Amino acid sequence: MTLRLRVTLAVGVIALMVVTTAVVTTRIVRGHLIEQVDNRIVNAGPGRFGAGRDPIDRRVRFDPYYIAVVVDGTLVTLATPNLSGDEVEPPVLDLADLARRAERTPQAFTAGTADGDLEYRVVVRSDGRSGAVVIGAPLDEVSAAVNRISRMSWTIAAIVLGALALIAWWVLRLGVRPVQEMTRSAADIAEHDLTARVPVRAPRTEAGELGTTLNAMLDRLESAFDERTRTEARLRRFVGDASHELRTPVQTIRGYAELYRAGALTDRDRLDDAMRRTEAEAARMGSLVDELLTLARFDQERSVASEPVDMGVLARDAVDDARVMQPQRTITLDVGDATDGLVVQGDEHHLRQVFANLLMNALSHTPVTSPIHVVIEGTESSIAVTVRDEGPGMSADDASRAFERFYRVDAARTRAAGGSGLGLAIVKSVIDHHGGSIELLSDIAAGTTVEFEIPRNGEIRGT
């Protein structure tokens, strides 16, 4: 059942109750007034109305009652009501009926006039002899009072019904109409444009709150669809890049195998070179597969080890390894004066990989004359690490995409020199997995800075 139908039915029920109340009230008032008239004529004594007086006696002609007697089977009228100075027509009475009523306990009944313009309440009682006294009171005042009350009741009912109609219209306009508009808008949005929104005319009403909630839901849905589109695009790009990365070493190994099978590697030096290249490509392919598996494990949030790890030790080991790889480069390490240690709860293997990848990235993409600085600072709740080089930096667009998988700042750089493009992606996945945050800042003239922070007792996802 729709809200419009419910409101209409409710208004209809209330209208029926108002009409019923008016009708019942009119009937009750009429019955009460007639009861008062009945009490007056039933309890009145015959002597009061001139019973036994001469019918020619004019003193009783101004009495507001109809008075008659039944004598020897004849109805003799003694007085008729004088309403506004005019005599009115007497009631039409049946002598046989009057005789029967005279034998019973006096009880009022209704009798009309010949022209039907007036009604009387009449009571008949025995006079103690062979006749009967008939007393009647006209109901003109009762009818007038009932008519006034009826007009008043119907006027009030009309006002109430009109107010109900206005309230119903206002409720439907304020509540149902906006909902209908939102329903049509939502249907159009579902069929055509997800960027559109439902109209919100009165934000403080229930319909307005519904529209605001629907728009918020549509915002989330649009964001979810956009994110799904971006995820699908990243996935397609990731699969394509991974396939391309793996295809190169596979083709190299296959090529040398075909040369060997064809007998083209008869020279010992050429064979040794082919085996060396095959081994190098296999090692590169194995490293790439390991990196892909690492990212896949983080994507699936698999459990990893969680143990106390000294970040200062990992940083010193990574710096020492970098100095061995490029002894001529200046690489500094600053662990501050932390007295409470630089220990976090995490996975040592993956955190060690973070330092190794960041330093390898700086070694690979800057000249050997560019210094590299590693700074570690400890707070009560977290450990912050900064890896900064003074080499050529990246553009803002490249810096914003540096953590994307297989993204290379220099697209023309060879894979052998530039790596797989997964190093920073792995770093971000490890930091995220440990509940930390990471940021890359770069300037073409000032170099690149990578800052990350890990909580000391953060809960590792997947554990």
User: Which pLDDT does position 411 carry in this prediction?
Assistant: 44
pLDDT at 305: 65
At residue 55, the pLDDT reads 43
Q: List for the chain the helix, strand, coil content (%; round to 5).
A: 55, 15, 30
Spell 423-458 as b/e; 16+ CB within 10 A means b: bbbbbbbbbebbbbebebbbeeeebbbbebbbbbeb
C-alpha–C-alpha distance, residues 311 and 334, integer Å: 12
pTM: 0.46
Residue 91 zone, left/alpha/beta (φ > 0; ψ -120 to 50; rest): beta
List, for residues 240-275, the tens digit of each pLDDT value: 766 766 776 788 788 888 888 888 877 888 888 888
Give the residue from 96, 138, 144 showing the smallest Cα distance to 119. Answer: 138
How far apart, in whole angstroms, are the C-alpha atoms of residue 190 and residue 193?
A: 7
Query: Sign of the C-alpha dihedral, residues 62, 66, 67, 70?
Result: positive
pLDDT of residue 245: 66
* Cβ-based neighbour number of residue 265 at 10 Å: 18
Contact of 138 with 83, CB cutoff 8 Å: yes
Residues of the chain predicted below pLDDT 70: 1, 3, 44-63, 83-87, 128, 130, 174-175, 202-203, 207, 234, 238, 241-242, 244-245, 248, 291, 295-305, 337-340, 408-421, 458-463
Strand partners, 67: 79, 135
